[in-house]
Amino acid sequence: MSEYTGHDQTGATVGIVKKEYFTFTDQSDPLTLESGATLAPVTLAYETCGTLNADKSNVILILHALTGDSHMAGYYKAGDPKPGWWDIMVGPGKGIDTDKYFVICSNILGSCMGSTGPSSTNPDTGEPYGTDFPMITVGDMVRTQKALLDHLGIKRLLSVIGGSVGGMQVLEWTVRYPDMVASAIPLATTCRHSALAIAFNEVARQSIMADPNWNNGDYYGGKKPDMGLAIARMIGHITYLSDESMRMKFGRRLQNRSALKFEFGAEFQVESYLQYQGNKFIERFDANSFLYITKAADYFDLAREYGKGSLVNAFSGAKSKFLVVSYTSDWLYPTYQSKEMVKAMKKNNLDVSFCEIDAQWGHDAFLLPDPRIDNLITGFLRSVTQ
């Protein structure tokens, strides 16, 4: 729960929030994953903000992207340098207004930010799982989120909202638990990865596994595959941007000098930027979690799992009202993929709104301040009733 401190002068914060934990299943009754493997116990880290109303009808579930976490808004303590990852969107008077809605965000299964993942302790050995951790899917992530909501006594969601891999979870929610979801907002996402997206993920994974410190995933307590993970992040970060955004941000400008030095160091600003992003990433994320979550994203295929190859069939049981949003410069999940899901939804006579936002910032545009997406989400949520 959040410690609500009221509006600040800008109405911009939910105040101090707390990371909470929910643990379920045990060795006698483990969670059976879609791979057929079992897992127990399972812990999810989560965060809430806003106030739950009496009939529990104002609940919004936020679903984070690949390397995100449950810390969506506010601060863990006074003096924190940065708020949660979607503080621009979640808070009093914002697009997801915590004066109106009770908002939940959990860290996904397989991650390293408080939820059970490869770096967690394997109860059978007393050591970190490493690659003994079972393969997971987006469906497994959603099933554990459902268990958390059951624990909280939430029987229906006003909306599920998320971008990128979080958007995959949004779509999974609408077809796996259709009676539980009143509305859904998938942002900058897809119903299945293209060959291009899978290829980038595979190159990133190979960079980790080629690091001599990876040691088949058994690196806990020793040197970590930091170089491989940093390169994986650099690869991923390129896909989150766009040609135009990189041209505007960096161009061919040199880093702290006026002439070429004819060496293999970071001479261009874009090189220095990518190295900085990679080095910053290794301080907060686990390499094995990166492997497992990217593989789960590659496995995701709504048509295969729910429609016997047909996306129209996959949405045949959905009942949510949808707001689908894409971005013009997103070449990782381009607009044609959003249009495919919108077409399949409309063929099932679902209530669907679609907006392609003109933005030069690439895939990551949904994480950046933009009054257009604020207004879209505000208006859409106002139109949703339980």
Catalytic residues: 164, 330, 363
| Structure-block tokens of residue 71 | 């810390």
- What are the C-alpha distances in Å from 14 to residues 91, 96, 179, 334, 372? 5, 11, 30, 33, 22
Nearest CA among 114, 121, 104 for reference residue 62: 104
| Structure-block tokens of residue 88 | 């621009």
Phi, psi of 273 (to 5 degrees): -60, -45
b/e for 261-285, b at 16 or more Cβ within 10 A?
Answer: eeeeebbbbbbbbbbebbeebbeeb
| Structure-block tokens of residue 178 | 């259709």
Nearest CA among 157, 186, 156 for reference residue 172: 186
**Helix (H) / strand (E) containing 198:** helix 195-209
* Cβ–Cβ under 8 Å, residues 70 and 28: no
* Cβ–Cβ under 8 Å, residues 189 and 168: yes
Nearest CA among 126, 130, 96 for reference residue 112: 130
Peptide bond into 371 cis (omega under 30): no
How many Å apart are CA 51 and CA 53, to the nearest integer? 6
Q: Which residues contact 235 (CB under 8 A, 6 or more apart)?
A: 200, 203, 204, 207
